[in-house]
Amino acid sequence: MSQTLAELVQALSMTKYSENVFVGKPIDLGLRQLYGGLIFAQAISAVIQYADMTLSIEKQLHYATASFINAGQVDSPIYYEIAPLRVGKSFSVMEVKVIQNGIQLISMQASFHIPEHGFSHQQSKLTDIAAPETLENEFELAKKLSHLIPEPIRMHWTTEPAFEVRPEVPLNPFYGKPAQAIHKAWFKLNGQVLNLSPFLRYALIAYHSDHNLLPATLKPHGKGFLEKDMQVATLNHAIWFHNDIILDDWLAYIITSPIANNALALVRGEIFDRMGKLIATTQQEGLIRQHPRTKNVT
């Protein structure tokens, strides 16, 4: 297991602070602000653990949506305050308020559903993506370009990551090239985690679900999300879980952006296993604002 994966698993395990509050540790990835996928994943980890402790009937998380209100910092603990909104026979809905230094970072709602038999169909198909064995590792590509990575974030980007990612067409965050608003990649855990608990399975998928979502919306415009004149931020993020989460093999993440307008972009993602079963669906809206190059954007 990579050290980064071990640190992520520890960060997603959370600590119970009080009856309905959990505390999480931030991870510095060298970005301009705390990675939103980490906050989202910690919120999911916390609400699943809380549900396991409080719901009398076993229910599974099937949907979570979060509004991002303020950016997080890497130097302070994050508190996840959970409150039940509805506890029914089939569904239970929880609210999670994420607080850091007295400031609310996100507001999330999570819905749990009791497993039951019903109609089943899948329209989405896993097609037109090269096998992972034929693609290069994103981490190895980053090491080859390390001389182009700015010094403040070079160490983070050339450290073995928590997930091994193999994109069909790699993204360059510092220098984009015009292309279709679609991004395809395989991913899997960078190492083996023994006895993965249910909350960790959901949280790990949620963590990676934010990877390269908004950058895909910039492809038609030939921009990278870390170019100096770009301001890119997640406004809301949602995930639906459809099938059991298996993390010991490659998963395909197919990302498309149907529209961008008024400095806002909508992006959707589908996560499949190698057999083509749809595991999860994601959707995100974000800010993609270009500033004049004469401006110093931070």
- Residues whose CB falls within 8 Å of the CB of residue 126, separated by 6 or more in sequence, listed in order: 252, 254, 272, 276
Number of CB atoms found within 10 A of residue 133's CB: 8
Using the structure block, give the residue that is written with the tokens 């994420």: 98
Nearest to 37 by CA among 183, 187, 212: 212
Name the active-site residue from 42, 217, 234, 282. Answer: 234
Q: Mark whether 128 is an active-site residue.
A: no
Please answer whether residues 130 and 115 qualify as being in contact, where contact means their C-beta atoms are separated by less than 8 angstroms: no
Name the active-site residue from 284, 290, 294, 298. Answer: 284
Beta bridge partners of 241: 280
DSSP-derived 3-state class of residue 272: strand
Q: Are strands 182-189 and 15-18 parallel, antiparallel or unpaired?
A: unpaired
Please answer whether residues 222 and 268 qualify as being in contact, where contact means their C-beta atoms are separated by less than 8 angstroms: no
Name the active-site residue from 42, 210, 217, 282. Answer: 210
Q: Mark whether 210 is an active-site residue.
A: yes
Q: Mark whether 234 is an active-site residue.
A: yes
- Catalytically active residues, by annotation: 210, 234, 284
